[in-house]
Structure 1
Amino acid sequence: MKIAYSAEVAAALEAGQPVVALESTIISHGFPYPKNMDVAAEMEAVIREEGAVPATIAIIRGEIKCGLSAEELEHLAKSDGVLKCSVRDLPVVVGSDRTGATTVASTSYIAERAGIRVFATGGIGGVHRAEEGADGFDVSADLLELSRSRVIVVAAGAKSILDLPATLEVLESYSVPVVGYKTSTFPAFHSLSSGLPVPAVADSTADLIRIARQHFALELPSGMLVCNPIPEKDALSNEEVEALVDQARAEAVAAGIKGAAMTPYVLGALNRVSGGRTSEVNMALALNNGRLAAKLAAGLSS
């Protein structure tokens, strides 16, 4: 697999220094311009503050990039035609010399092949809720890729618009280790807890590093999901989130939105109906995950 590395990322990997992979969908589809540039800069900054090197992954004009220049970040942030690119989309986007922003699934896939073991994101995809107008059982490719890319993904659980009990069941079926960081319950993205138990808990960063080391030492074929709840001061209540999600999903159903288009549409609607508050929450949880991922990467490399 041909990957173009930035000089900083290439040097860090060569020297065995800690590197944290970052997705690019959060830049092209998660926030409007220029807020998305602020998010990208702050994510990279918090990772550097914890002693690791950030490696934002994307496809730029047909080339798989690991570590982006300022010009490439701006291209992602400002361009209208950036494709949301999961694993199945890689040959099309690369083969047609187009620009694509990577999802959790495609970032995990590329990160493993780049030799990066830790990846920070906001929240993973999962199983969509069954509702009128849905076509069958809609499961995010993120879950499948977690079962086959040996990368540790740090996230604030799964996005709150999803069926969280079903998402945890699929992760169990795929033999993906799920570890709560200082929490015994599965985080619900915008809110602290879904109330659903996680199968394992790491009470400290040192505990998490030990578990992660064993994951790689055992040569398990899967990744691992580290569930890092949003800081309490930034969280929304479960009741607030549920009311906002119901409103946003009703809009999506009325508009005939289905399948892969559902998540970006509903997240955009959530930002609108909340008066921009959910975007601030998204920012806070992403930065929180970046900090933890950098600490984990540093611990694994020492």
Structure 2
Amino acid sequence: MSSLLQIHPEVADALATGGAVVALESTILAHGLPRGDNRVIADRIEGEVRRNGAVPATIAVLDGVVKVGLGPADLDRLCASDDIAKLSVRDLGAALALHRDGATTVASTSALAHRAGISVFATGGLGGVHRGAASSFDVSADLGVLARTPVLVVCAGVKSILDVPGTLEYLETLSVPVLGYRTDRFPGFYLSDSGYGVPWTVRTPAEAAAVVLARRELATDQAGVVLANPIAPDKQLDPDLHDRTLESGLELLRTEGITGKDVTPRLLEFFHHTTHGASLTVNVDLVLSNASLAGEVAVALARAGR
């Protein structure tokens, strides 16, 4: 491994012995959750992975070095600092060269997980095609990276504030398979059902692992796999509240003239404020669910690979 990439001893040992490892992004901790709560939730997310028999590997850049797997002191620092950059793949080289601290997005976590030899990654929601992308060309880097990175990403679909059908169409164009976990409907992050279907359904972690192994066997695994895991209907955001908040939020963006990379954080902040924290509770619940499922899939994949 490069001197710019350090793998935590526990993670390295699991990888060397064919054990199960789950990569975790750090942007949700540094930028997506309130200070104080984020540190507690970091342990809960990693705990869900461990509970299902896998080793968690939260990924971040600290002191200009990629760290795959963070110790308690690293997590303390990541969750407490106000000077953590948000790093997609294009930002990694600059952050490393300039010795910056940074949190990894879905795109950069996927790329770094693959670089370290990790095949399963858990996140909250996937980035996608933004509303109005026909004129703004605003498409998340997550999709392009998935098209060339063979990592299975467990997520709750894409954020419902995005263009869901446009994202699904683009994933098809990029030959990224989309699997629904125990559902034939594509989840919408805060919502169990975005209103659109998925082409394939798997019922067990072993079936999800079998898809990955079949793609490897046929050498058609140049792209990643999306495993869409819907939040339980009784834990989703109230659909009527969601729709009203989204409509108001989109109007707010137009009024404030917000575009590009500032759209998603502004809308998520608006959801949190308008729903009085209900959307944040849903966000945490779905991330924990995804971490749990990713742990199960990683274990199934490790067992099948032996």
Same fold (TM over 0.5): yes
Q: CA deviation at 1:209?
A: 2.1
Q: CA deviation at 1:234?
A: 0.8
Q: CA deviation at 1:237?
A: 3.5
Structure 1 residues 137 and 238: alpha-carbon distance in aligned structure 2, compared to 1, 3 A threshold: farther
Per the alignment, residue 242 of structure 2 pairs with 241
Q: In 1, distance between residues paired with 2:164 and 2:191?
A: 13
Per the alignment, residue 275 of structure 2 pairs with 274
Q: In 1, distance between residues paired with 2:9 and 2:255?
A: 48
Amino acid at match of 1:122: G
Contact 1:231 1:288 in 2 (8 A): no
Deviation string 1:148-183 (CA, Å, 9 cap, x unpaired) is 111000000001110000000000000001000111
Amino acid at match of 1:97: H
The worse-fitting range, judged by mean Cα deviation, of 2-11 and 209-218 is 209-218
Q: Which runs of 5+ in 2 are unaligned?
A: none
Contact 1:248 1:273 in 2 (8 A): no
Per the alignment, residue 206 of structure 1 pairs with 206
* Secondary structure in 1 matching 2:127: coil
TM-score (norm 2): 0.95
% same residue = 44
Contact 2:206 2:301 in 1 (8 A): no
Per the alignment, residue 148 of structure 1 pairs with 148
Contact 1:179 1:202 in 2 (8 A): yes
Say whether 1:160 aligns with 2:145. no
Aligned length, in residue pairs: 300
Structure 1 residues 111 and 195: alpha-carbon distance in aligned structure 2, compared to 1, 3 A threshold: same
Per the alignment, residue 20 of structure 1 pairs with 22
Per the alignment, residue 4 of structure 1 pairs with 6
Contact 2:237 2:278 in 1 (8 A): no
Contact 1:180 1:200 in 2 (8 A): yes
Q: In 2, distance between residues paired with 1:100 and 1:254?
A: 31
Q: How do 1:40-189 residues align onto structure 2 when only pairs under 5 Å count?
A: 40-130=42-132, 136-189=136-189
Contact 2:120 2:152 in 1 (8 A): yes
Amino acid at match of 2:6: A
* Secondary structure in 2 matching 1:293: helix
* Secondary structure in 2 matching 1:128: coil
TM-score (norm 1): 0.96
Q: CA deviation at 1:253?
A: 2.9
Q: In 1, distance between residues paired with 2:128 and 2:239?
A: 18
The worse-fitting range, judged by mean Cα deviation, of 270-279 and 7-16 is 7-16
Deviation string 1:182-238 (CA, Å, 9 cap, x unpaired) is 110110000110121111111222322221221222222100000000022211243
Q: CA deviation at 1:135?
A: 6.0
Q: In 1, distance between residues paired with 2:77 and 2:250?
A: 31
Q: In 2, distance between residues paired with 1:180 and 1:237?
A: 22
* Secondary structure in 1 matching 2:23: strand
* Secondary structure in 1 matching 2:226: strand
* Secondary structure in 1 matching 2:286: helix
* Secondary structure in 2 matching 1:287: helix
